Each structure stands twice: as C-alpha cells, then as structure tokens.
Amino acid sequence: QVRLIDAGFIWTEPHSKRLKLKLTVQKEVINGAVLQQVFVVEYIVQSQMCEDCHRIEAKDFWKSVVQVRQKTLHKKTFFYLEQLILKHRLHQNTLRIKEIHDGLDFYYSSKQQAQKMVDFLQCTVPCRSKSSQRLISHDIHSNVYNYKSTFSVEIVPICKDSVVCLSPKLAQSLGNMSQICVCIRVTSTVHLIDPTTLQIAEIDGNTYWRHPFNSLFQPKQLEEFIIMDINRVQEKKKVAGAGARSNKHTLAEAWVQKTSELNTDHQYFCCTHLGHILNPGDLVLGFSFLQQCRGVCVNPCWFSLQVLIKKSYDRSRRQRRRNWKLKELERDREGTDTDDERQYQDFLEDLEEDEAIRKNVNIYRNADVPVESDTDDDGAPRISLAEMLEDLHISQDATGGEGASM
C-alpha cells in the first residue's frame, strides 16, 4: 500500500473529453527508506445513453401504435371521442398523437398501454379492431425478441345527422322498421329513428359489420327549408312485432319550401319526428331525395321524399354568446382548413342540442364571454351554468406566494 501525498488536475482542452490527474505517492521501503513517485492518470470521457434515450435519438422510441380510422366526410364522431379520451385521461401515457386525414394515430411505449386504449375504444364507439406485429431485433444469446405492434381500429362509417338505408333483412329484424332512417346519435351504438313512425333502434358494432349499410347523405349536403305549415299527428297504431318508439320526439306532417326556391310555388310534403320544436316560419335543415338521389340506385318511391334533420338557428349569434369551451388533445396536425372549423362548430351545436351526449363530456366555463340575460333569447338550445366545470388556472406557484391565484 502507498500513501497519497498530493493530487491535482493538469489543464487540458475543454473539448478534448480528457481528464488528467497528477498524483504523488510515497511508500516506506527497506530500513526506513522512503520512496516517492509522481505519475499522471488520464481519463477519457465517453458519451453513453440509456436505452430509452437511445431509442428516442434513433427515432425508434415507440413500441405500439393504435391507428383509429373512420371513412366519413364528417368528424363529429372523432370530436366526441376526443372528449371521452380527455375525460378518462387515456392520453396521459401516449408518446405522440398524430392527426391524419381520416383518423388519429396514438403511439405508446408498451403493448399493454396500446391494448388498454383499444379496449376503451371498443367500449365507447361501435368499431372493430385487428392487430399485427413486426420483429425488430432478436438476441440469440438471451432469447429476447423486440417487436413493434400495430392495432388498427375502424369505426363504423356513420355519423350523427346522416340518413342511412338499411338492408331489408336488417330492417325486418329491428321490428319491421323503415329502411330509410336518421342517425340521431353515435355513442357505443348507432341510434336510429324512423321519421315517419318514431320507431327507434340501436345497432352495435357487431350487428353493423354483419349487415353493413352506408349513408345516403352526409351532413355536408344539408339544405335549408322553411316550414310553411305543420300539424302534429297522433302516433300511428303500433303493429304486431314493431319495435320501441321515441318519447322525446313528436310526429308531425309538414309542408316545406326550400329557401333557394322562395320565388317559386314549389312546396314539399313530408313527415317529421321534429314536431315538438318546429312551428310555421321556422328554418330547418334537411335532405331532398329528388335532388340528391339522381343517378343513384334507390327505390323509386323515395324520389319525392324529404327528410328533415334539425332546426336551424343563427350560427353567428350562437358562437358569440357561447360562454363555455372544451379542451383539446395536443397532437401533430397535417394541416387544418375552414371545413374542419365548420365541422367543429357543428359538434358544439350538437352538444347544446343533445343532453345525452354532453353528459359524457367535460364542459368548462369560459370566463371571457359574459353571460347574456334570459330576455335576449331566440329559442336556441343553451347549456346551463350548472352543467359547466370551472377550469383551473394557476398563475404562479400554488404555495400561496405573491400573486398566487386559482
């Protein structure tokens, strides 16, 4: 053993990644003689990353991805799904969320986290899924395999306010329901209503994939009508084998005219499920089979059919007085356009009009918009303050220091 007498650094270039130490040691040898020696110890600094950092730098940091797709022109279902994910905090374990044209990609660091997201989607929206995996590396000595997993989730291509045409077999299995139905809501199932009888039905994902059907019209094809005359009618007598009827809607017969044809005498007769909210002079959005189905193989009896979807209100006024807001997922976007903003406004209006949907959504009060008095009301649906949550904002430290507020 030796004694350390002195030690010190020798100056080196800062960028050389070398450390030099000058050490002086002594040791007693034969007959009390002391031997002293000076030598230099050189250290070389080598950069090294942990396994996780190495994966990030190599762009290989994710282990599983969940690809959610819906082949529709409107994103109402995705806006609703986004709010469900935020409410249940399913986005906390994601490494990255990427928005593409027809869906979202969720990236995870483990297969278990991705499987949890797939299970959540199957419980909240009608969909089907499949999975695959790709071998990345294999250590033959330790028999360790490194895979990347991909989960593909396809949501049924039906969104709210779509007009669908059921197959005869499916319509019969739903209680002899009419083939032409309106989608009034999409949750864990597709909610349909027959506008001529008020008969309702719910179709889950498994039923849809066994008897698939498509939308005849999308919300982007809505036309504006004006109610010329409307009469509430008693519900038609329920025939044997018929399904349940809606208690929230009222059957009515109406004469309508397109706002684009006000200078003509063209009027259309139709049955509607919106008799509880429509009055003469109201504006309503709907579809005209006569104009929309030309060149499409449908039943000739449907060519004169008009389907009213929802009452129309002044959109600009609704936006100005909307004193609430929603949170959004942080994601990479390919690009937004004016159509995306219009679709988002449609979704906000659906929340105001449908109480069943907004029960599943966290709605926050927007303090920047003043609350209007009840006297300034045009009859448009509104969300009450009791249904809103207070958004938490911490301006400085939450220990009660200067300026701390919530």
Range list of H helices, 174-232: 205-210
| 169 occurs within a structural domain | yes
* 332: Cα separation from own chain's centroid: 14
Same domain? For 211 and 294 the reply is yes
Same domain? For 117 and 77 the reply is yes
Looking at residue 301, its pLDDT comes to 53
Same domain? For 87 and 102 the reply is yes
Measured CA to CA, the distance from residue 154 to residue 129 in angstroms comes to 6
**Max Cα–Cα distance, the chain, nearest Å:** 130
Is residue 341 a contact partner of residue 328, using CB atoms and an 8 Å limit?
A: no
Looking at residue 64, its pLDDT comes to 92
Given phi > 0 = left and psi -120 to 50 = alpha, else beta, which region is 379? left
Nearest of 255, 298, 307 to residue 279 by alpha carbon: 255
Measured CA to CA, the distance from residue 375 to residue 393 in angstroms comes to 32
Range of the domain at 62: 57-155
Looking at residue 368, its pLDDT comes to 83
Task: Give, in degrees to the nearest 5, the angle at Cα 190 between 383 and 103.
Answer: 85
- Each residue's pLDDT tens digit in the chain (406 positions)? 888 999 999 999 888 889 999 999 998 888 888 889 999 999 998 888 777 777 666 666 788 999 999 988 888 899 999 999 999 999 988 988 999 888 899 999 889 999 999 999 999 999 999 999 998 888 888 888 888 999 999 999 999 999 999 999 999 999 888 889 999 999 999 999 999 889 999 999 999 999 999 888 877 788 999 999 999 987 667 776 778 899 999 999 999 999 988 888 888 899 999 999 999 999 999 988 765 544 444 555 555 578 899 999 988 888 888 889 999 998 887 766 667 888 899 999 999 999 889 899 999 998 888 776 655 566 788 888 888 887 755 454 544 444 444 4
Measured CA to CA, the distance from residue 11 to residue 13 in angstroms comes to 7
Torsion of CA 225, 227, 233, 238, to 10 degrees: 10
Same domain? For 193 and 265 the reply is yes
| 302 occurs within a structural domain | yes
| 81 occurs within a structural domain | yes
Same domain? For 187 and 286 the reply is yes
Same domain? For 246 and 135 the reply is no
Domain's final residue, options 312, 336, 356: 312
Same domain? For 144 and 166 the reply is no
Same domain? For 32 and 61 the reply is no
Same domain? For 211 and 289 the reply is yes
Domain's final residue, options 105, 137, 155: 155
Range list of H helices, 92-200: 111-124, 168-173
Taking each helix axis from N to C end, the angle separating 111-124 and 76-87, rounded to the nearest 10 degrees, works out to 120
Same domain? For 178 and 303 the reply is yes
Predicted TM-score (pTM) of this structure: 0.78
Same domain? For 262 and 186 the reply is yes
Range list of H helices, 58-110: 76-87
For residue 65 the two structure tokens come to: 């991805």
Q: Which DSSP string do the residues of 234-258 spell out, in sequence order?
A: PPPPPPTT---B-SS-B-EEEEEEE
Domain's final residue, options 104, 135, 155: 155
Q: Which residues of 159-176 are buried (b: 16+ CB within 10 A; e: fewer)?
A: bbbbbbbbeeebbeebbe
> Number of folded domains in the chain?
3
